[in-house]
Amino acid sequence: MKKINVTLKSVTFLLLVLLVSACSKNGMETIVIEDGQYSVAQMIIGTWNPERGEIADEAGNVNETISPDDMGGLDFGEGGTVETGGGMHTPGGMHEGGGSDWSVDEGNLQKPGISEGTGSGASYDKEGPSVNIGGERWYIFQLTGRILIIYRIYDGYIIIYYYYRAGEYVEPEPNPEPEPSTALVSEIRATTTYASGDESTAVHRFSYDSENRIQHYSIADVNYTNEWSYRYNEEEEVYVTGDESYMAYRDRIGIRELYSLSANGSSQKLVASPVYNENGYMRMLNNNSFEYQNGNLVLLNSRGFISKYEYSTEENNANIDLNCIVSGCSAYEYDYSHYSLFAPFGFYGKRSANMISIENMDDVDMYYVYAYEMNAQGQIGVITRKCMNKWQQDDMLNMTVFEVSYQ
């Protein structure tokens, strides 16, 4: 008796087989599903004509060959129905022909040439993708634009069916790649509601130059308005003028030296010399030290005052560092507010990759919990920060809602 082998007798089918890769395991020739193709559910749609079938024992010895006339062709429709002309060996028990339901379990497609793992093609191990035809589960040994080989194991025997596609395979139109987001944050309105019911609102506004660099930043509430303007001298110098004025020297990583300027610009004073780690994250800013894990700031030591951070799965991918706005940048620097004027805009090295979920500070009686809502464009639209009592569960001291607008 011969062994199972997917090398086919018909010349036409042999030419089709040459289109795909082959590998061997335990003496049985196998062909894997090609990596990078469309999903199994997409590729299987269409009409498949039978070439032949085989029934083999567990050792791979073919005991019986099935005529294509007894297998019935398969026409997989997009609506989840499959039609067949019938035959005594038609999958799904559709011996008299007609229609039934079909569905696919995509499984874990194995990459070409790899014979270990859980993917289809390593062996007849019932671990690859499968198609359910009329209630019968058939595992997919090979699927390309032109070839379909399915099998099932029944009562100790391996039943293998070989099909070829009728007509040409028409690839589905690929989903267009999303355009990179060019939306810029234009306003953040922060409304805080206190336990007493009182409210306060602060509005952050941002505008940008032709290169999408920050050009104007303001913070306003009912009592005051602070405004700052930014200008650039090539890529190495950044100037900020407003209630406080600064000049920064920077390189490709971030600011290296930051000077405060007198009102008339006639004198300057060095106020910060940040130090960065090998990955581009700031680890020291004057008396503040920063620790990172997995691309996120997890600990800030500000002159002995410790803040610890946990993170959500939401990406911190707006054009400005939203974490810096909602967690209060200026708290990091007591002598000057320059941190809050530069950090949100990428001047102090890399920012955290994700959005904060919990902010916990030592030696205080409260902590912050953050939640996020996305807008219709998939951007962060609303950030809710709850200030919670550390010693009394579910006691919320206040809540701030940050509404983020884009231009």
SS3 assignment for 12-43: HHHHHHCCCCCEEECCEEECCCCCCCCCHHHH
pLDDT of residue 58: 81
Token pair listed for 401: 């809602």
Rg (the chain; Cα; Å): 32
User: Does residue 174 fall inside a structural domain?
Assistant: no
Same domain, 145 and 281: no
Taking Cα atoms as reference points, which of 202, 198, 142, 187 lies closest to residue 5? 142
pTM, entire model: 0.56
3-state secondary structure of 176: coil
User: Does residue 345 fall inside a structural domain?
Assistant: yes
pLDDT of residue 395: 93
Long-range pairs, 224-232, Cβ under 8 A, ≥24: 228/341, 230/345
Same domain, 140 and 216: no
Residue of higher predicted confidence among 228 and 175 = 228
Give the pLDDT band (50/70/90) at residue 38.
low
pLDDT of residue 263: 77
Residue 150 near residue 158 (C-beta atoms within 8 A): no
Number of helices and strands in the chain (H, E)? 4, 28
38-66 average pLDDT score? 87
For 106-213, where are the E strands, in sequence order?
Answer: 130-133, 136-143, 147-154, 157-165, 185-194, 199-208
Q: Mention every residue, 6+ apart, whose C-beta is less than 8 A from residue 307.
A: 299, 300, 359, 360, 361, 362
pLDDT of residue 300: 92
Same domain, 193 and 106: no
User: Does residue 241 fall inside a structural domain?
Assistant: no
pLDDT of residue 318: 95
* 25 vs 110: CA distance, rounded Å: 14
**Residue ending a domain, choose from 136, 165, 194:** 165
CATH number, position 92: 2.40.128
* 52 vs 1: CA distance, rounded Å: 17
Same domain, 214 and 129: no
pLDDT in tens, 115-171: 333 334 446 777 778 899 988 999 988 888 888 999 998 888 999 999 999 988 776
Same domain, 198 and 135: no
Same domain, 194 and 296: yes
- Expressed as residue numbers, the domain containing 33 is 11-165
Same domain, 191 and 329: yes
pLDDT of residue 188: 97
225-233 average pLDDT score? 94
User: Does residue 369 fall inside a structural domain?
Assistant: yes
Which among 167-176, 181-190, 263-272 has the top mean pLDDT? 181-190
Same domain, 38 and 143: yes
User: Does residue 237 fall inside a structural domain?
Assistant: no
**Residue ending a domain, choose from 165, 194, 210:** 165
**Residue ending a domain, choose from 165, 194, 215:** 165
Same domain, 69 and 117: yes
User: Does residue 307 fall inside a structural domain?
Assistant: yes
Would you say how long the chain is, in residues?
407
Mean model confidence pLDDT for the chain = 82
User: Does residue 363 fall inside a structural domain?
Assistant: yes
How many Å separate Cα 29 from the centre of its chain?
37
* 240 vs 209: CA distance, rounded Å: 14
207-215 average pLDDT score? 95
Same domain, 352 and 297: yes
3-state secondary structure of 253: coil
282-285 and 275-276 strand pairing: antiparallel
Give Cα separations from 177 to 43, 113, 173, 174, 181 (angstroms).
21, 29, 12, 9, 12
User: Does residue 260 fall inside a structural domain?
Assistant: no
Token pair listed for 6: 């997917």
Same domain, 133 and 15: yes
Residue of higher predicted confidence among 85 and 315 = 315
Token pair listed for 152: 């099932």
Q: Is the pLDDT of residue 112 over 50?
A: no
CB neighbour burial string for 141-160, b if at least 16 within 10 angstroms, e if fewer: bbbbbbbbbbbbeeeeebbb
pLDDT in tens, 315-330: 999 999 999 999 866 5
Same domain, 370 and 297: yes
Domain count, the chain: 2
pLDDT in tens, 273-326: 999 999 999 999 888 899 999 999 999 998 888 999 999 999 999 999 999 999
Q: Is the pLDDT of residue 3 over 80?
A: no
